[in-house]
Amino acid sequence: MKPAPFAHVRPATVAEVVEALAAGADLDGGAKMLAGGQSLVPLLAMRLAAPSLLVDLNALPSLRGVAADGPDAVRIGALTRHADLLVQPYSVSGADLVAPGATGGALRNENGLTGPGAGAGDMPLLAEAARWIGHTAIRARGTFGGSLAHADPNAEWPAVALACDAELAVAGPSAERTVTAHRFFHGLLQTDLADDELLTSVRLARPRAWAFTELARRHGDFALVLCVVTELDAGWRVVLGGVAGTPVRCPSAEALLDAGERHPAAIAAAVAAAPEAEAFSDLHASAAYRRAMAAELAARALRDLRPGPGAAPVLGTEHVSSAALDPQNRAVTPPSPSASPERAGTLAVTLNVNGRHRAAACEPRHTLADVLREQLGLTGTHLGCEQGVCGACTVLIDGEPVRSCLTFAVQAEGAAITTIEGLAGPDGALHPVQDAFSRCHGLQCGYCTPGFVLTAVHLLATEPAPTRPVIREALSGNLCRCTGYTGIVDAVESAAGSMGGGGAG
């Protein structure tokens, strides 16, 4: 299915967002905010949500970034991407930490997995939680604040927020207000946000010690159960996700830890007996199973407890000052070309595709995948699930892999888009990754191949010599209909060698 028609607006300030939300409240379908869209767009496509107005937040760069907020806390802008917080798991001892303000390079853990090495060393809990979120293409678009506002109890960030005594800054028509995490989540997909309010930033306390454990059926799935344990100045926090309609704390387990109890079995018993851990049953797991796994994950978390690093002042890929994360967006922001509401009918867009500016006419509800295929004739972008699951529609936007079925074409104006047709050289010579897929029998039926190839191009641009586990991790968000993954991994490894990376075995 395709989304129902809606109007689209891209405000340039937080005040304009609030005004648009207030105006949308008077419409029959109301208004929805569009940040990363990784949860919202599938709901729109399945007609589980049908707003009359979509308020696009992506013209608010002042809400993206991470900054120190005093010596013992960090503040994360609501539009910060999951990938901005991702550094693969690593030892937090001494030399393994990235220096404040460092950029480039990579950190490597014992499994050979690497991350961007962008200064996330002073709160590695964020990096550990981020790596459990979906796959590369999902993390490149999804946002920290969007996950909190969506309030899925199986998601990672709500539990992390509760475990770090988060304070959420909310902008509305009257004034800015602050909501603590334990008051923010009201129930399944329900929060304290009013229809005309916007989450702008989140303050999290830095833990002195922390652990994060999660159980999911497959890599990249939502958690069946997860547990976050932190030691804060205010005491210990034991938080469970996936067992109830909101993330929940376990005061009995926290009291044992505050009293000096460190035995995993004792903490597991406290969690199993806690009324807060009363779980629900669904198609994926029974309540009894969830309850048992919550106790087991709490015990594992205590065994895996890691000390927090020293006081490094800044983390994240965008080193911004606290003033830059201004909930009122008082800094001067260039006006957006779409700052006024667009009608739900056809409008003109110009897309920079494969180095050429291409004109198209589409409705706000038309996805980038549909416009690429049906208007620009770039049929190498294939549609599979149209829910962001299979990866067949993957393209590169500003060098990052993105699900084009979860991205509206109007969002892609001003960005550089690369499709499979744009990889070959001017003389028609295949890109090394394309050539390797041909040589190593990675093509198979070819339907899913464009998504795999573009994902591999991004991988090799960020990690020239990936190990096979790293390759599998990077490709795990793409499904092969022929299930012939060995040839695909061989192809990426071969391409790394031919491009000078050499491969890491």
The answer to whether residues 412 and 396 touch, using CB atoms and an 8 Å cutoff, is no
Query: Is 50 exceeded by the pLDDT of residue 268?
Result: yes
Counted domains in the chain: 3
In a domain, 182, yes or no: no
Residues 433 and 409 in one domain: no
In a domain, 47, yes or no: no
The CA dihedral of 480, 401, 489, 385, to the nearest 10 degrees, is -10
Q: Which of 98-102, 157-161, 182-186, 221-225 has the lowest mean pLDDT?
A: 98-102
Residues 466 and 398 in one domain: no
In a domain, 505, yes or no: no
Residues 479 and 446 in one domain: yes
| Nearest-angstrom CA–CA distance, 180 and 54 | 27
Burial profile 136-160: b = 16 or more Cβ within 10 angstroms, e = fewer: bbbbbbbbbbbbbbbbbbbbbbbbb
pLDDT of residue 102: 27
DSSP state, 341? P
CATH number at residue 464: 1.10.150.120
Residues 296 and 372 in one domain: no
pLDDT of residue 117: 32
The band of 310, judged by pLDDT with boundaries at 50, 70 and 90, is low
Mean per-residue pLDDT over the chain, rounded = 85
C-alpha distances out from residue 31 to 77, 164, 339, 442, 492, Å:
22, 31, 16, 44, 43
CATH number at residue 237: 3.30.390.50
User: Where in the sequence is the domain holding 299, given as residue range(s)?
Assistant: 210-219+227-311
The answer to whether residues 471 and 459 touch, using CB atoms and an 8 Å cutoff, is yes
pLDDT of residue 503: 53
In a domain, 325, yes or no: no
Q: Taking Cα atoms as reference points, which of 62, 117, 141, 129 lies closest to residue 317?
A: 117
DSSP state, 431? P
In a domain, 66, yes or no: no
Residue-wise pLDDT tens digits, 47-95:
999 999 999 999 998 899 998 888 899 999 999 999 999 853 322 222 2
Q: Which two tokens stand for residue 2?
A: 């395709």
Mean pLDDT, rounded, for 277-283:
81
Position 43: which residue type?
L
pTM of the model: 0.83
Residues 237 and 293 in one domain: yes
Residues 416 and 464 in one domain: no
CATH number at residue 404: 3.10.20.30
In a domain, 62, yes or no: no
Domain final residue pick, 296, 311, 326: 311
Provide the 10 A C-beta neighbour count for residue 28. Answer: 7
The band of 246, judged by pLDDT with boundaries at 50, 70 and 90, is very high
Domain final residue pick, 401, 422, 443: 422
Burial profile 275-308: b = 16 or more Cβ within 10 angstroms, e = fewer: ebbebeeeeebeeeebbbbbbbbbbbbbeebbeb
Residues 400 and 487 in one domain: no
Residues 405 and 431 in one domain: no
C-alpha distances out from residue 271 to 238, 260, 278, Å:
9, 16, 10
Residues 362 and 380 in one domain: yes
In a domain, 79, yes or no: no
Residue-wise pLDDT tens digits, 409-439:
999 999 999 999 999 988 889 999 999 999 9
Residues 366 and 417 in one domain: yes
Residue-wise pLDDT tens digits, 189-231:
999 999 999 999 999 999 999 999 999 988 888 899 999 999 9
In a domain, 113, yes or no: no
